[in-house]
Structure 1
Amino acid sequence: MGRRKSIDPQQLLDAAERVVAQMGAARLTLDAVAAEAGVSKASVVYDFQSKAGLIQAVVERAVARDNAFNREAAKGFNQDALLRGRIAAAAQPFPEAFQPVALALCAAMAQDPQLRAPIQHNQAQILAEIQQQATHPRSALLAYLALEGMKLLESLDYVQWPAAQRQQLLQDIGALIETPPR
């Protein structure tokens, strides 16, 4: 009796990201992901049940990775740590290889409230934690909005700041945290 080959769900998600980058989320198929991963379609269905489940898992993994990256960057700060960590993490621009995936996922999320739910929940948690930690909550909120606006413009490929200007913008956003509101 043969033993079932163990397939790492993370490898399937990597394959799904490659397919999304090449074809877009709307044209992603379980067959294409299976072919990209070198497994059977049944293996993909077993782990993710459907195309929607697979895309949902890709979004959730992207959120988890982003949170882990930002939390790691926050370890060096005491005051306003979460927000300062997110600014420090932003010093490393969005990975170029993930940009087509991000754009395709944004397009898919625009049409599917269920796909937006993990992002909405994550943003609510981040905003609550930033406000809770903040020395000046309104200033921290403005800094977070500026940071996320800058990152969104970059991730949607609307603006690519030169390195020196990008660094200055991040410093200016960091200074907002310390500015008491009027």
Structure 2
Amino acid sequence: MGRRRTIDQGEILNAAERVVARDGAARLTLDAVAIEAGISKASVLYDYKSKQALVAALVERSVAADNAFNRATIDSLGSVANATIRGRILAASEPLPEAFRSVALNLCAALAQDAELRQTIQHNQSAVIADIMTSSSNPRGALLAYLALEGLKLLESLDYHSWPKAERGRILREINSLVDLQPVADPPLLAPAPG
């Protein structure tokens, strides 16, 4: 009797990412992933009981990889002030690779339609923001820098806008300067119209 081939969950998720990048999250099926991975549908079903479970695993893996990449960059700075936010800014020095951008764009479409799937991102963002706020000497400036950084990354990952390399570098330097921005006493959101 032949030995049963062990199927690595990473291989299944790699195949699912290729399907999402090529066909979009809406067309992701367990059959398509099985074909892409060169395995049976039953093998996919063994680990992922539904399309939602497969997409959830893709989201969790993407979040874990992003967190690991950011953590490695933060740790590379050593013991500098505001390391968490400064490391995240440094980690964004290069735009997302094109291959990941199409996966991110398609996963965002799936997340927009499923509140349960969004919880992974929501919990992660809450943890990141809490870390930035507690590890920064100027929490408000660090928070503004993070919001600006995430806005830049979101515009790029959703393919809404991209900047030439020199301009992008300048934007990141300006975001970095927000970390040291001193808070102002609660100004009104809109200045009153001149009289």
Q: Give distance in 2, aligned partners of 1:50 and 1:171.
A: 44
Give the structure with the higher percent helix. Answer: 1
Partners in 1 of 2:3 and 2:51 — Cα distance? Answer: 27
The letter of the residue matching 1:30 is L
Gaps of 5+ in 2: 185-195
Secondary structure of the residue aligned to 1:180 is: coil
- Is residue 74 from structure 1 mapped to residue 65 from structure 2 by the alignment? no
Q: Which moved more, 1:123-132 or 1:18-27?
A: 18-27
Q: CA deviation at 1:5?
A: 1.0
Report the Cα offset of residue 81 of structure 1: 1.2
Aligned-pair CA distance for 1:2: 3.3
1:92 corresponds, among 91, 94, 118, to 94
Which of 166, 179, 182 is the equivalent residue of 2:181? Answer: 179
Read off the aligned partner of 1:59 and give its amino acid letter.
V
Describe the superposition over 1:96-133 as per-residue Cα deviations: whole angstroms up to 9, x where unpaired. 11111111111110010111111000000000000000
Matched, 1:65 2:65: yes
The count of aligned residue pairs is: 182
Write the distance in 2 (CA, Å) between the matches of 1:39 and 1:103: 26
TM-score normalized by structure 2?
0.91
Measured after TM superposition, the shift of residue 80 of structure 1 is 1.2
Tell me which amino acid in the other structure corresponds to 1:81.
A
Q: Distance in 1 between matches of 2:44 and 2:86?
A: 39
In 2, distance between residues paired with 1:157 and 1:23?
Answer: 17
CA–CA distance in structure 2, aligned partners of residues 62 and 19 of structure 1:
15
Moved over 3 A (4+): none
Structure 1 residue 32, shift from structure 2 partner? 0.4
* Counterparts of 2:156 and 2:42, CA distance in 1: 37
Q: TM-score under structure 1 normalisation?
A: 0.97
Cα shift at 1:171: 0.6
SS in 1 for 2:60: helix
Q: Distance in 2 between matches of 1:160 and 1:142?
A: 21
Could you give the per-residue CA deviations for residues 116-172 of structure 1, whole angstroms, max 9, x where no partner exists?
111000000000000000111111110000000010011111111100000011111
Where does residue 7 of structure 2 map in the other structure?
Answer: 7
Q: Which residue of 2 aligns with 1:31?
A: 31
Q: Does 1:53 align with 2:53?
A: yes
- Once the two structures are TM-superposed, the CA of residue 3 in structure 1 deviates from its matched residue by 2.8
Partner of 2:139: 137
- Displacement, 1:4? 2.0
Query: Distance between the aligned counterparts of 2:154 and 2:10, measured in 1?
Result: 26
1:114, 1:23 → 2: CA distance?
23
Tell me which residue corresponds to 1:146: 148
Q: 2:158 aligns with which of 152, 156, 159?
A: 156
CA distance in 2, matches of 1:62, 1:10: 12
CA–CA distance in 2 between the matches of 1:20 and 1:115? Answer: 16
Q: Match of 1:39, SS?
A: coil
